[in-house]
């Protein structure tokens, strides 16, 4: 372990222990680890004495995590069925429908809500009028109101009449603007291969964070997938922290495998590894789409969603303006997960289309894909790529505020 800093979060402690699983998935109860390390993938949500938080943000001390979910055996059984299996089996006759629904409701009903560990302190609310708003980080020469995401500012969404909802400096703000600049960065693009949901699959930024925190043991075997620039960054990271890059390339491997975590990569040969780093990025476009931008799925490569047209008052810069994944396309495997939040596989999407759901909005409602806590940040491009392959017009689904999961406590405000 590096002496540069101490392991502080639950995700870092789990990575350091060699058992990166900290949570379980929603439907199949599959083990999940922290993918992004920045709080947007929501794959690592865990219980703590103060409520449910993300492992990449929760202190290691005092957090409760259950690496072996007791419902996992049922999850293994459920993996054999499509998400709508119960409809065909339990709702087929009118006589059984009411009884079946009653059983399902009781089986899935939550218990009494636990009292909140703390109290909600209302935020002051204010309305501002500014010429230009920058979402992300300021650049030299910017004369604008800046919402710095890295400093903890939260952007809730773009609303009609050019109004931006945000939490800044402890205030809940409604900001009316004339020009909007989005520099919100990017998210991880996972390869559509078997094992892509295993704990130990992480983004490049997360790998850098874990290494800096001392969570990656000397000699940790890393595989990296991405364009050459990303591979070079990981190789530099490995040299700095005495890690071992055992595989790299821009063409995705055939599969990942392991028991509860990444243990092997399968490409032209089988390669043992503990960490699989994805250096492929999906631009952060949810705010741009809310503002009226039009995005399309790229072609001739591994598809990502990229902005093709914006209103005159909107501009993107940095990673948010990326228009290419930089890596070749890969055959999508039926057992790969397209949507990790809702446990929707590529095969589920294909079956949904075969069942007559021939529009992204219908597929979204039918399978639950893109409706989980990440709100499509990790899965939208993958889901739409499957639909395009099936002959469906792969237009992005409607993007509405809020741009990120937000508690009522965060929105509590007084005028």
**pTM > 0.75: yes or no:** yes
- pLDDT at 266 (0 to 100): 98
Domain map of the chain by residue range?
200-281
Chain segment 161-192, per-residue pLDDT in tens: 999 999 999 999 999 999 999 999 999 999 99
Residue among 186, 165, 189 at smallest CA distance from 175: 165
Helix, strand, coil share of the chain (percent; to 5): 25, 25, 50
- DSSP assignment of 171-225: EEEEEE-SEEEE---EEE---SSBTTTSTTEEEHHHHHHHHHTT-S-TT-EEEEE
Q: In a structure prediction context, what are the per-residue pLDDT tens digits for the chain, which is 415 residues long?
A: 444 446 689 999 999 999 999 999 988 999 999 999 999 999 998 877 777 889 998 888 755 555 667 778 888 888 887 666 656 555 556 666 667 666 656 665 545 444 554 566 788 999 999 999 999 988 888 899 999 999 999 999 999 999 999 999 999 999 999 999 999 999 999 999 999 999 999 999 999 999 999 999 999 999 999 999 999 999 999 999 999 999 999 999 999 999 999 999 999 999 999 999 999 999 999 999 999 999 999 999 999 999 999 999 999 999 999 999 999 999 999 999 999 999 999 999 999 999 999 999 999 999 999 999 999 999 999 999 999 999 999 999 998 899 988 888 888 887 6
Chain segment 248-284, per-residue pLDDT in tens: 999 999 999 999 999 999 999 999 999 999 999 999 9
DSSP 8-state code for residue 141? T
- pLDDT at 191 (0 to 100): 97
Beta-carbon-side half-sphere exposure of residue 330 (alpha carbons within 13 Å): 27
- pLDDT at 85 (0 to 100): 62
- pLDDT at 341 (0 to 100): 94
- pLDDT at 113 (0 to 100): 46
Counts of helices then strands in the chain (DSSP H, E): 11, 26
**Measured between alpha carbons, how far is 56 from 403 in angstroms, rounded to an integer?**
20
Q: Which regions of 226-336 does DSSP assign to beta strands (E)?
A: 244-249, 255-257, 264-266, 270-272, 275-278, 281-283, 294-297, 305-309, 314-316
Residue among 177, 133, 139 at smallest CA distance from 153: 133
**Measured between alpha carbons, how far is 406 from 125 in angstroms, rounded to an integer?**
16
- pLDDT at 415 (0 to 100): 64
Architecture in CATH of 200-281: 3-Layer(bba) Sandwich (3.50)
Query: What is the dihedral sign for C-alpha 57, 59, 60, 63?
Result: negative
DSSP 8-state code for residue 398? P
**Measured between alpha carbons, how far is 197 from 188 in angstroms, rounded to an integer?**
12
């Amino acid at each position: 372990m590096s002496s540069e800093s101490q392991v502080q979060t639950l995700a870092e402690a789990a990575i350091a222990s060699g058992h990166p699983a900290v949570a379980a998935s929603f439907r199949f109860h599959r083990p999940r680890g922290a993918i992004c390390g920045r709080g947007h993938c929501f794959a690592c949500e865990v219980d703590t004495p103060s409520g449910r938080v993300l492992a990449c943000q929760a202190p290691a001390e005092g957090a409760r995590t259950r690496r072996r979910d007791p419902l996992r055996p049922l999850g293994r059984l459920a993996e054999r069925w499509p998400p709508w299996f119960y409809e065909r089996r339990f709702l087929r006759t009118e006589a059984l429908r009411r009884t079946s629904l009653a059983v399902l409701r009781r089986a899935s009903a939550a218990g009494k809500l636990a009292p909140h560990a703390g109290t909600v302190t209302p935020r002051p609310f204010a309305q501002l009028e500014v010429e230009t708003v920058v979402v992300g980080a300021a650049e030299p020469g910017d004369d604008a109101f800046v919402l710095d995401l890295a400093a903890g500012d939260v952007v809730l969404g773009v609303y009609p009449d050019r109004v931006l909802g945000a939490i800044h400096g402890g205030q809940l703000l409604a900001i009316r603007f004339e020009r909007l600049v989005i520099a919100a960065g990017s998210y991880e693009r996972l390869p559509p291969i078997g094992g892509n949901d295993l704990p130990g699959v992480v983004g490049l930024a997360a790998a850098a964070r874990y290494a800096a925190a001392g969570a990656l043991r000397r000699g940790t075997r890393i595989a990296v997938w991405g364009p050459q620039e990303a591979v070079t960054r990981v190789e530099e990271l490995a040299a700095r922290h005495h890690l071992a890059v055992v595989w790299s390339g821009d063409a995705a491997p055939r599969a990942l495998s392991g028991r509860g975590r990444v243990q092997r990569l399968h490409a032209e040969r089988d390669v043992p590894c503990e960490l699989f780093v994805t250096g492929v990025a999906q631009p952060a476009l949810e705010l741009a789409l809310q503002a009226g931008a039009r995005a399309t799925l790229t072609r001739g490569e591994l598809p990502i969603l990229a902005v093709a047209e914006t209103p005159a008052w909107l501009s993107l810069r940095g990673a948010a303006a990326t228009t290419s994944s930089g890596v070749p396309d890969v055959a999508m495997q039926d057992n790969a997960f397209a949507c990790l939040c809702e446990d929707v596989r590529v095969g589920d999407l294909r079956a949904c289309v075969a069942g007559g759901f021939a529009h992204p909005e219908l597929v979204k409602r039918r399978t639950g894909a893109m409706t989980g806590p990440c709100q499509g940040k990790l899965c939208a491009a993958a889901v739409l790529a499957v639909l395009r392959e099936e002959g469906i017009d792969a237009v992005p689904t409607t993007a509405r505020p809020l741009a990120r999961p937000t508690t009522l406590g965060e929105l509590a405000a007084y005028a």
